[in-house]
Structure 1
Amino acid sequence: MTTPRPCWALPQELRDERILSLLRDLVRINTEHAAPAPGAPYGEGCELALRRALLECESRGMRTSRLGQKVGIAEVGDRGPLVAFPVHLDVVPAGAGWTRDPYGAQVEDGMLYGRGCMDNKIGAAVMIELVGELWERARAATGLPCRIRIIFGTDEETGMSDLREYVDSGCELPSLGFVPDATFPLVRGEKARLHLVLTCDDVDLPAGLSISGGTAANVVPDSAQATLPDGTTVRASGKSAHGSTPERGQNAICALLRELAGTPEVSGDVVCLFERLFCRDLTGAALGIDVPDDEFGHTSVNLGVLEAQGRRVRIELDVRFGSGISEDEVVSRLQGALGARWDVRVAMSKQLHLVPEDDPCMRALLAAYERVTGELGTTSVMAGGTYASLLPALVAFGPKLPGTHTGAHGIDEHVLLENISKATDIYEVALEALVELSA
């Protein structure tokens, strides 16, 4: 399908070359969170990528600024409503098992490989290019009827403290825009989320039993182990997955608990309780927190971390839920299921996010998708979270195309160059539509 491109757009081949060059530069910077350094709360890699992105924006004529050391802002235009595109430059750890250098930005057979090439450095590279093109044309003519802002974050993957600081400090919230950090056609809603830490210092574990498994609440653990009272080590393996979709993984902690529950010398009320509450379903039914609704369906619970030593136990859960239950109810029901001796602490919370079906901005984005692809633009909701959940007017829109696999958060993350180009085509038309809508 051939779609007329905006009058301000560069020739497609040149546009795509520039985006790929910038994207590869960003992918080559390791932005896994690292030890804090002066001026770099999430490590020097995140700070280096943020500086690189802002320098690129300055070279394209955008005004840039910083909100502390966590957020960068690039903006064009001086009047009208605020149109914003939040993106993040941090990435989840690459992990083992890659067949290519995760930070080599290798292009092979029309495919770009590298951690963050899809999640979410593609969003940064594409929006810098498109806003830069638009502004170059607009400032030579009559200007823009709106202000356009790219918001660069560096802590999306581990709690969104960056954008929370943006919101809490009183920065202007956008009335139009989108977050290019999900899938097409469009995600209009995201479940509420709780990261819960459960601890107890007086647990009746069998003497000499220790249990260890998991790395983070929002990751399905792929390994766990226990040391039995006789010194024997028992290990369990699973399959890792994102905590928002625990059904896609195989929880190694649960596999271990099931094995321990069947071992006479260590089975007991506590081990069986953990297995019953956290492992027999993924909806929190045993905890009393599965209250489905029509939009988001069932609650999901991921047992991400379990550490037990002596009489002390520490558990981390990732809980995602719809409108049928509140945050306070989740906490109180879980407290009731465990008992008064347990401390239930909210380490992080994210509110439910849902944009109405008749929202004008959302309808404009769907029309842009349909115009470019010739396919029906539909909406969905998800358990995963993006910056949109903290910005009430925004939705998540691309860049992953339907039916494609990218390996985001997994081994050999990749994206087809032709899919980068197609996503950019959609964003190009969408940006033009939002400018027109703001007039």
Structure 2
Amino acid sequence: MSAPCREVAERDERIVSLLRALVRINTEHAAPAPGAPYGEGCARALDFALAECERLGFETRRLGEKVGWAETGARGPLAAFPVHLDVVPAGDGWTRDPYAAEVEDGVLYGRGCMDNKIGAAILMVLLAGYVGEDLPCRLRIIFGTDEETGMSDLREYVEAGEELPSMGFVPDAAFPVVRGEKARLHLRLSRTSDLSGLTLSGGTAANVVPSEAHATLPDGREISATGRSAHGSTPERGENAINALVARLVKELGPEAGCLDEVCRLLCADLTGAALGIDVPDEVFGHTSMNLGVLNVRDGALAAEVDVRCGTALGTTEAVSRVRAALGEAWQVEVAQEKPIHLVAEDDPCVQVLLGAYERVCGERGGCSVMAGGTYASLMPALVAFGPKLPGTHSGAHGVDEHVRLTDVSRAADIYCEAVRGIVGLAASLED
């Protein structure tokens, strides 16, 4: 094995070891504790990442209890790489322990291995190679712990007056470059239930397509439905168990379906929000997407959580207004979280650097896209999402048996290595 090959093999071994260590920390949000607003797992992962960066020679800083950063370089513009350590709930149906970080036949399995701990592991190892060098910019990894449930971590970073980067990328989507993200609304809907004696539960989070839903009828019968989990920003890739269960109940109960009929007609009828009047497509982002992620009926109350993603033709204020009008006065509509549209120009210099890095490593033309999903880039105007998912691959992020091939970890690391080199070169050109 030649020296360069040995170096790459050693690099990849360090990345995979670090990735497995991060996956083994269960960072699903849990009950808050002192120093741990999202549970002890998230706090432990943040402590681990910052301690590891200190060991590698980075300057580190922890901002409160939700976010921290590690940096190398002493001058020039800030290039940042925000990653998140929290994960969505693993849910049921896994064929392996979601937090054992097992490797089988060259594939690593575990919740968060792709979304988003792979980005953290790769960048920690790659940027450690720049520690101690005289750089024309500062390279900063930002570690968050609340990306999946509202981004209060990075909002706190911004509101605290921390420096915003002028270049960099968020490794939390797909290659080549995702330059735009739809606006997002996380809505909590509630009303009085007229379903005496019926209980129903389904889903774990607004931004996850639910794979299971269960109901108990007044006569004691139990009815369940199963589906296929997927990311809530792409509900068409999953099968919504709540939608299936509600449709079955409405058919079976007939005139006694009560408010479930409204749920079926308005929240389960489509994946674009058309029944609510919020599907207003545009040329850049296309149709609205909507996911009914959580539904609970018990003790005379109905509560639902819905994830809505929309483009430039429909503002979030107008979307909420239309939802309220469609549901009527019997419903309460609360905006739990809101995220604005994000869009970076295709000819942006850093975007061109990233596309060039992808093309040189992969040997194919790169291009820009937009998506319904949301990343930390939406809170940092100069950044775009860039990898780590390679074209044509499936990872099961937000679903069961989330996984990543070790060969894909290595290829993503190759692309990121070239990209960081290009960003440092871009910063150097600004000095001339």
Q: Which TM-score applies when normalising by structure 2?
A: 0.93
Counterpart in the other structure of 2:315 = 326
Q: CA deviation at 1:98?
A: 3.0
1:61 equivalent in alignment to 2:57: yes
Aligned residue number for residue 363 of structure 2: 374
Given candidates 142, 146, 151, the residue that maps to 1:155 is 146
Matched, 1:48 2:44: yes
Is the Cα contact below 8 Å between 1:260 and 1:266 reproduced in 2? no
Q: Select which of 168, 171, 187 maps to 1:196.
A: 187
CA contact (8 A) 2:72 2:130 kept: no
What amino acid does structure 2 have at the position aligned with 1:134? Y
Cα separation, 2, equivalents of 1:383 and 1:46: 26
167, 170, 173: which one aligns with 2:164: 173
**C-alpha distance in 2 between matches for 1:270 and 1:117:** 40
Q: Are the counterparts in 1 of residues 249 and 257 from structure 2 also a CA contact under 8 Å?
A: no
> Corresponding residue for 2:15?
19
Counterpart secondary structure, 1:112? strand
- What is the match of residue 210 of structure 2? 221
- Structure 2: gaps of 5 or more residues: none
Aligned residues: 425
User: What's the counterpart of residue 422 of structure 2?
Assistant: 433
> After superposition, what is the alpha-carbon deviation per residue over 1:152-192, rounded to whole angstroms, capped at 9, x for unaligned?
11111222111111111111111100001111111111111
Task: Give the equivalent residue in structure 1 for 2:396.
Answer: 407
* Structure 2 SS opposite 1:234: strand
CA 1:232/1:176 → structure 2, altered by over 3 Å: closer, same or farther? same
- CA shift in 2, pair 1:341/1:232, >3 Å: same
Please tell me the residue identity of whatever aligns with 2:262. L
User: How far did 1:125 drift?
Assistant: 1.2
Measure, in 2, the Cα distance between the counterparts of 1:70 and 1:127.
Answer: 20
The answer for the alignment partner of 1:365 in structure 2 is 354
Other-structure match for 2:28 = 32
Distance in 1, matches of 2:361 and 2:107, equals 22
8 Å CA contact 1:92, 1:157 repeated in 2: yes
Paired position in structure 2 for 1:122: 118
Tell me, in whole angstroms, the C-alpha distance in 1 between the residues paired with 2:260 and 2:93: 33
2:267 is equivalent to residue 278 of structure 1: yes
Task: Tell me the secondary structure at the aligned position of residue 303 of structure 2.
Answer: strand
**Which residue number corresponds to residue 383 of structure 2?**
394
Asked if 1 retains the 8 angstrom alpha-carbon contact of 2:353 and 2:419, the reply is: yes
Which segments of 5 or more consecutive residues in structure 1 lack a partner in the other structure? Answer: none
Partner of 2:247: 258
Q: Is 1:248 the equivalent of 2:234?
A: no
**Shift of residue 359 of structure 1?**
0.9
CA contact (8 A) 1:10 1:133 kept: no
C-alpha distance in 1 between matches for 2:114 and 2:396: 9
How much has 1:250 moved relative to structure 2?
A: 1.9
Between the aligned partners of 1:419 and 1:270, the Cα distance in structure 2 is 47
CA distance in 1, matches of 2:224, 2:98: 29
Over 3 Å counting, the alpha-carbon distance change for 1:85 and 1:297 in structure 2 is same
Alignment root-mean-square deviation, CA: 2.0
Question: After the TM superposition, which segments of 4 or more aligned residues of structure 1 sit over 6 Å from their partners?
Answer: none
TM-score normalised by the chain length of structure 1: 0.91
SS in 2 for 1:296: coil
Q: Which amino acid aligns with 2:281?
A: P
Listed one character per residue, the Cα deviations across residues 344-383 of structure 1 (whole Å, up to 9, x for unaligned) are 1100111111111111110110001101111111111111
Change (3 A) 1:362 1:228: same
Q: Pick the aligned partner of 2:412 from 416, 423, 437.
A: 423
Cα drift, residue 10 of structure 1: 8.8
- Greater shift in the superposed pair: 38-47 or 146-155: 38-47
| Deviation (angstroms), 1:90 | 1.5
Contact 1:209-1:266 at 8 Å conserved across structures: no
CA distance in structure 2 between the aligned counterparts of 1:254 and 1:418, rounded to whole angstroms: 37
SS of residue in 2 equivalent to 1:332: helix
- Of the three residues 56, 81, 89, the one matched with 1:93 is 89
1:258 Cα offset (Å): 1.9
Change (3 A) 1:69 1:310: closer
Percent identity, please: 66
1:259 to partner: Cα distance: 2.1
Q: What is the CA–CA distance in structure 2 between the aligned matches of 1:101 and 1:309, rounded to whole Å?
A: 31
Equivalent position of 1:164 in the other structure: 155
Secondary structure at 1:306 match in 2: strand
- 8 Å Cα contact 2:89-2:204 kept in structure 1: no
